[in-house]
Structures are given as structure tokens and as C-alpha cells.
A and B are shown apart, each in its own frame.
Chain A
Amino acid sequence: MAQVNSSTLLQVSGLEIEVAERPLLTNFNLNVEPGALIEIKGPNGSGKTTLLRHLAGIRRAHKGSIDFRDHSFAYVGQKTGLNVSLTVYENLRWLTRNADRNTSELELIRALSDLGLKSRRDTLVGALSAGQVRRCGLASLLALDANIWLLDEPLTSLDESAIDWLKGAITSQRATNGAAIVATHATLGLPETVTIDLNVS
């Protein structure tokens, strides 16, 4: 299953990452197939976030290649990317437009109601609680409808029901030939998870 085939979603080869001119990862290779769930683990400062930011194209590696093979991705970082002076709906719409998607109003509202934010549609993000802001960030995953999800510590400030929702969402993402790469210190506990331990490599 590990070899590259036409259905591979993401192919990372020979990636080399430096932080403050110190090497963090050398010759890192990864193939992401449909249905995969990859958890990136490691202690603080081991580069979980940095690796994820490289995959999302926010940082540029000076060696190696990251090939999404025309597949789309959604990135939800520790910063949610939501502007406090815009409403929940405006933010969500901007996030989809920013990713070059013309998600319809109906789909956006469906994503919001899935996370229990439908009544908050026209609330400014600045007026939401921390947990609601995280939920709103996760709603963008549904709205973006991307092939690969890149999640950085998605469990932060989520309550039980939101964690259950996230597990369900990842499961259905996998079932629909998508994949998820999650940087986390606490495992999600889902079946058939591939773990990358940054401390060992």
C-alpha cells in the first residue's frame, strides 16, 4: 500500500527542515493515501507545528518537495484565521473564497449548524467564547470540502461534544477518500492511525 500510485493524495520526498538555521528534519518522506489518518507526535519543540506549516506551504523548505498532485487541502492552525471584527458567516465565507472555492451560502450554513453555530451566524467572532472560536475554525473544514485536512492541535479548548464531532468528521472524511494529518500530543484514538514520532526520527 505504501508505494506511489495514481490515487496518492500527497507525496513528500526528501524534505529537509531548518529552524533558526538548525536542522529539524532531514530526508523526510511521506505518502498519503486516501483514507489515511496520520498523527504527528513528539514533545514540545520537536517541530510538529513546523512540519505541518511546511505541508501547508506556509513555510518553504530549502530542500525536498511537497506534491499535492492537484488535491486541495484545508489547514486549521493554532491561530484560527478568524478576524474578530467580522461575523462568523463573513469569516467562513472569506476562508472559502481565499481557498478559491465558491461554497454556496447553503453549504456554509450547513457547516455552521453541524457545529451548533447556526444561531451565531451573524455574531462577531470577537464576541464568541474560545471554544466557539475553535468550533468555527473547524466549521471551515466542512466548508472548504478539501481532500486533505491539516490540523494543528485540534483538541485545544474543545469540549466533549466537539471532540466527538471532530472524531466523527475525520472518520467520514476518511470514508470519502479524504485524509487527515494531525499534529497532536494526545492521540485521537481512531482505528488504523499511522503515527509519526518526530523524536525518534
Chain B
Amino acid sequence: MNWLARSFHKMGSPPFFYRGAKVWVFWLYVIGLLVLLVGTVWGLAFAPADRLQGDSFRIIYLHVPTAHLSQLIYIAIAVAGFVYLVWRMKMADVFIVSAVWLGAWLTAFALFSGIVWGIPTWGTGWVWDARTTSVLIQLFLFLGLIALRTAIPNSQRGALAVAVLAIVGVINIPIIKYSVDWFTTLHQPASIQIGNPISIDPSMLWPLLVNTIGLYALAAGVILYYMRINVLRRERNSEWARDTVDIS
């Protein structure tokens, strides 16, 4: 436990983070891109076509990982908001600022790829069902976070406001899901569910898992990359930041 507490404390220290994260950014980019390449080629060229949906189903290799990841990023932002509120840890705010744009783009891409998938599959690009609605609201929440953070110049106040909004927002997403589900759903039920037997053929599943891992690694790399930039900008008056910039 002592070790855990110490490393938690260390991660919260900007200079330690700045130096330590450099290697991680490089390797996460490299591994993420390679794995993503393997998964995408596998999924598009080698995995069998779907019996019912034909080749159009292949978009799930991008759609499903981005949708999952965007939601995960939103939850992570809310958790970071909580950490910021309780411990006033600056790195939590740095994480939020760095992840929020990526989250918004991924959400937008998930919606877009969903439309592209929906047109050949269901004959309509847009259905007001639980998942589509909650992802759309999630996009609005991301945009709200970005707008709020840009509108308040004071960094402490802006950070607190964004943390509160993220936490209040995250509670909304499951409620929206349940309340729309209650209205009845057109969407096909989620294919990969924990605890349920997987209803998708393994030969189709493997590239999906590979792509998910690749995208997660790449996203972690992107977030760390922006966190390093933001932490340097935030600490520009401190000695370690000046030293760092002078040397490199």
C-alpha cells in the first residue's frame, strides 16, 4: 500500500510525470498504430463477411471500439473530476483538458460510423433508440465541457466548474439509456456482453478485439502526449519547466 500511495503521489508531481511519460507516449503510439493496422487489415481483408449484412458489417471494426472508448473517456473524465474535487490534484485537471477533445472527436466518429453502418443495414441512418440518443447527448456533454473550459480563463475556477459538470453529466447517460430503452428499442442488442455467450463468430471477433486494444493504446498515447504539453504550459513559471525547455 505504501508503494501504491507513493507512486500515486509521484504521478501527481508534474516534473516526474513530464519526464516519465515521454517513453510511454512513444511506445503507445508505435504499438497502437501497429496493432490498429494489423486489426484493420485483418478485419477488412481476411475476416469472413457477415451472412446477413454482407461486407457492410465490417464497419464494426471501427464503430464498436470508438463508441466504447468514447464512453470510457467520458467516465474517466468524470472520475478525474471527482479526484479534482476531493483532492484538488492538478494532474486530474490536466487529464480532463487533454482528454476532452479526443473524447468529443471519438464520439462524433462513433455517431458518423453508426449512420454509415445503419443506412445499408436498417435502411435508415438514424434511429432514436437508447444507444444513439445517449451517444448524441454524450457528444453535447463533451462540447459543453469544452465550451465551459474555454469560457473561464481562471484555471482553478474553470477546472472546478468542468469537474462539477462532468460529474453531473455522467449520471445522466445511464438514465437516458434506461429511459429510452423503456420506450422500446429498434437497435440490435449489444453483441458482446459480459456473462452472456458471445453471439458473434470468433473469426469475426478476433480482429475486433485487436482493433480495440490498438485504439485504446493509441488513445492513451494521444492523451499522454497532450497531458505533457498541457502540464508544461501550466507550470511554465516553475523552475523545472524552464530548465526543461532550455535544454531541449
Contacts and interface: CB of A to CB of B under 8 A. Distances in A.
Contacts of B234: 21
Contact of B154 (A20, A22, A62): A20
Interface string B192-218: 000000000000000000000000000
Residue among A21, A22, A62 having the largest count of chain B Cβ atoms under 10 Å: A21
Say what secondary structure dominates the interface of chain A: loop
A20 B154 CA distance: 7
Interface residues of A, number: 4
Nearest to A22: B237
A21 B237 CA distance: 9
B53 interface: no
A55 to B, nearest CB: 19
Interface string B209-248: 0000000000000000000000000100100000000000
B172 interface: no
Contacts of B88: 62
Contacts of A62: 88
Interface in A14-49: 20-22
Contacts of A22: 237
Contacts of B155: 20-21
Nearest to B235: A21
A90 B234 CA distance: 45
A62 B156 CA distance: 12
Nearest to A18: B156
Nearest to B153: A20
A62 to B, nearest CB: 8
A62 B88 CA distance: 10
Interface string B137-162: 00000000000000000111000000
A62 B154 CA distance: 17
Interface string B145-186: 000000000111000000000000000000000000000000
Nearest to B88: A62
B222 to A, nearest CB: 26
A165 B88 CA distance: 45
Nearest to B236: A21
Residue among A20, A22, A62 having the largest count of chain B Cβ atoms under 10 Å: A20
A157 to B, nearest CB: 28
A49 B228 CA distance: 35
8 contacts: A20-B154, A20-B155, A21-B155, A21-B156, A21-B234, A21-B237, A22-B237, A62-B88
The list of the 4 closest CB pairs from A to B, nearest first, reads A22-B237, A21-B155, A21-B237, A20-B154
Interface of B: 88, 154-156, 234, 237
Given A21-B155, A21-B237, 6 more contacts: A20-B154, A20-B155, A21-B156, A21-B234, A22-B237, A62-B88
